[in-house]
């Protein structure tokens, strides 16, 4: 009897129960944890996995790259791709700390709301992303790849500018880094923003009074599901809800709407490894394309 196996690679000591549960529900019979794996170890692991089954059974074996570090995950993903020996290949899916599928869902939902309520796309839109962690950085990159003018807004003094911008360069996009550590700086950065995306840590209100200075807002998305909301006025379940503010109204996207799509994207990509016509290689740009396809089917 065929056993569908997912090898779960992480540089940490533990793997994520959330990821394991989704992988099992999506059809993998076995999820095998391989902990303390770094980029230098990936090639040996992948080649050990690809040669134990004939090439035509590539759907029965998958590699999942987890952990919390998007920089290391990208290195591990690239190492996994290079380790394939044609025709021996298997699917590889990277989603460290859920950042790839979350950022893909945020940008896809923003694009959908813009299209439905503003008759616009992301090209040329001025976007302020508050939060420079994994989700914020990946969100900024995806938006920039769609032609948006993106500012990555630093909230904490120890946020690493060089590291974030180097990651953006790996994906060949230009993203502007700005400080938003004070209320005055936040107020300045929202002034001409058309889209605000809050990807900061949970349970912290990032934008409140600063929105009074926003004059061109079209869409606001918030990933924070732990009260208080990251942005005043954004509801947990909002999906294109009109929210009044000082200079008119914006369309709101709440964290549970984002989380609902994120769940479907991750689940669907685990399935994609098992049913694609060739070995699936899934980074966050591929996760974004998949998120868009799900929204198109729903429409």
List the chain domain ranges: 5-98+261-298, 102-257
Give me the pLDDT at residue 109, please.
98
pLDDT score recorded for residue 245:
86
Q: Which long-range contacts (CB under 8 A, 24 or more apart) does 275-279 make?
A: 275/59, 276/59, 276/91, 278/58, 278/89, 279/58, 279/84, 279/89, 279/90, 279/91, 279/92
CA dihedral 141, 198, 77, 45 (to 10 degrees): 180
pLDDT along the chain (299 residues), means of 10: 92 95 97 96 96 95 96 96 96 97 98 97 98 96 98 94 93 96 94 96 87 92 94 94 89 97 98 97 97 93
pLDDT value for 1? 64
**pLDDT tens-digit profile of 110-154?**
999 999 999 999 999 999 999 999 999 999 999 999 999 999 999
pLDDT at 211: 87
**Residue 208: predicted pLDDT:** 86
> What pLDDT score does 62 carry?
98
Select from 3.40.50.300, 3.40.50.1400, 3.40.50.1820, 3.40.50.720 the CATH code of 102-257.
Answer: 3.40.50.720
The phi-psi region of residue 119 (left if phi > 0; otherwise alpha if psi is between -120 and 50; otherwise beta) is left
Q: Does 102-257 match 5-98+261-298 at the fold level?
A: yes
Q: Is domain 5-98+261-298 given the CATH code 3.40.50.10280 in the classification?
A: yes
For residues 21, 25, 27, 30, the Cα torsion angle rounded to the nearest 10 degrees is 30
**Burial of residue 50 (number of CB atoms within 10 Å: 0-12, 13-18, 19+):** buried
List the Cα angle 55/57/63 in 5-degree steps. Answer: 95
pLDDT digits (tens, 9 = 90+) for 20-30: 999 999 999 99
Give the number of C-alpha atoms closer than 13 A to the C-alpha of residue 276, restricted to the C-beta side: 20
* Cα–Cα distance for residue pair 252/233, rounded to 1 Å: 8
pLDDT of residue 107: 98
User: What is the per-residue pLDDT for 286?
Assistant: 97
């Amino acid at each position: 009897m065929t056993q569908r196996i997912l090898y779960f690679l992480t540089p940490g000591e533990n793997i994520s129960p959330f990821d394991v549960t989704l992988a099992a529900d999506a059809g993998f019979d076995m999820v095998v944890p391989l902990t303390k794996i770094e980029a230098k170890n990936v090639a040996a692991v992948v080649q050990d996995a690809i040669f134990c089954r004939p090439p035509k059974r590539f759907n029965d074996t998958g590699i999942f790259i987890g952990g919390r570090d998007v920089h290391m995950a990208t290195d591990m993903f690239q190492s996994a791709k290079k380790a394939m020996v044609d025709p021996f290949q298997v699917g590889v899916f990277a989603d460290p700390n859920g950042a790839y599928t979350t950022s893909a869902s945020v940008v896809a939902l923003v694009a959908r709301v813009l299209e439905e309520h503003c008759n616009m796309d992301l090209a040329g839109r001025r976007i302020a992303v508050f939060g420079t962690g994994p989700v914020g950085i990946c969100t900024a990159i995806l938006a920039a790849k769609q032609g948006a003018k993106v500012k990555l807004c630093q909230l904490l003094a120890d946020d690493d500018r060089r590291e974030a911008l180097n990651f953006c360069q790996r994906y060949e996009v230009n993203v502007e880094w700005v400080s938003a550590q004070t209320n005055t700086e936040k107020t300045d950065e929202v002034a001409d923003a058309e889209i605000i995306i809050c990807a900061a840590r949970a349970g912290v209100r990032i934008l409140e009074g600063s929105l009074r200075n926003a004059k061109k807002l079209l869409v606001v998305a918030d990933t924070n599901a732990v009260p208080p909301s990251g942005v005043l006025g954004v509801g947990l379940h909002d999906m294109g809800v009109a929210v009044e503010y000082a200079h008119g109204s914006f369309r709101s996207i709440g964290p549970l709407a984002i989380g609902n799509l994120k769940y479907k994207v991750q689940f669907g990509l685990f399935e994609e490894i098992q049913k694609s016509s060739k070995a699936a290689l899934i980074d966050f740009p591929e996760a974004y394309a998949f998120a868009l396809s799900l929204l198109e089917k729903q429409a």
